Amino acid sequence: MVIGTAIATILMTILLTIANYFVIFSIYSYLINCTVTGDAKDIVIFYGVAPFNRLKGILIGVLIYPTLPTKNHFQYYLYK
């Protein structure tokens, strides 16, 4: 479970950072009529968005982990 959460957090951080860099941040900048390009955009994405996505993945994993059923719970329903 911990390994799965770690892999999901890493993948989420990578994919959402790429999506923010090419799509989401560009649309948001267009909508508020504020153009951010070059080094400023890199700094915002890699020092603002990427750490937030890592923190979000860790927080979700910590909050969801105690609510998941145990392995024995799954075996009980599989072999009933």
Digits of tens for pLDDT over the chain (80 positions)? 678 888 999 999 999 999 988 898 888 888 888 887 788 888 888 888 889 999 999 999 888 877 776 666 666 566 65
Domain limits at 42?
A: 2-78
Report the number of distinct structural domains present in the chain.
1
Q: Is-contact 21 41, C-beta < 8 A?
A: yes
Q: Amino acid identity of 72?
A: N
Terminal Cα-to-Cα distance of the chain (whole angstroms)? 24
Average pLDDT, the chain: 83
